[in-house]
Structure 1
Amino acid sequence: MMDIQVELYISAKLVLAAFLGGIIGLEREREQQNTGLRTFACICAASCLFVSIAGHLTEDVSAVARMLAAIATGLGFIGAGIIFRDQRNLPKGITTAAGLWTTSAVGMA
């Protein structure tokens, strides 16, 4: 069982991650994109939570590395779902997908 200091530390990291993700998402929202503040805040906080849990459940560095790889892979699938072609057959959503992927990295840090 974790002590209160560890729980407060993880909680502070989650709040900071959600805040930073929200700032990034705010820019996407201002650009009138489908994904915005809430999506980016959730992605950033979830990435932070997964890494924090993995880091506290095991001392095995390879297990944490696998968690990081799984997060990056999962975000790749989400990002691929955001990218589409418009009426002129031009790709749209690439910047948003890259932003989600980068926001996930911010959360993992």
Structure 2
Amino acid sequence: AFSDSDETKAVMEFFSTGESVKGWLQAGGALSPHLDAQLDWYGDDVERGIAQLVQEATAFRFDGSDLMPGEVGAGSFWKGMTDWVSGSADLDTALQEIDASWPSNN
């Protein structure tokens, strides 16, 4: 926020609630980090089930891609691994493309 006005504080407070993401959840394709987001706000059973697992979790873990530079972890690593799992790329090719995408390798 660029201001500490009461209005800015009210908006920030709202964004800290599940209610702030209700429309996204109803539209589909999103999961809320808010424990007060109601499961019936989710648009389908699959997302509702995933959200329930997240809300009931007792631990939260990151995978290796979270520690990678963004263009790798959310880019080439994601693409390479999904290509490999789906069978559209062999493992050696996927790994070579991931290695080549690291910022220090360009």
- In the superposition, the TM-score normalised over structure 1's length comes to 0.29
Largest Rg, 1 or 2 = 2
- In the superposition, the TM-score normalised over structure 2's length comes to 0.30
Higher helix proportion: 1
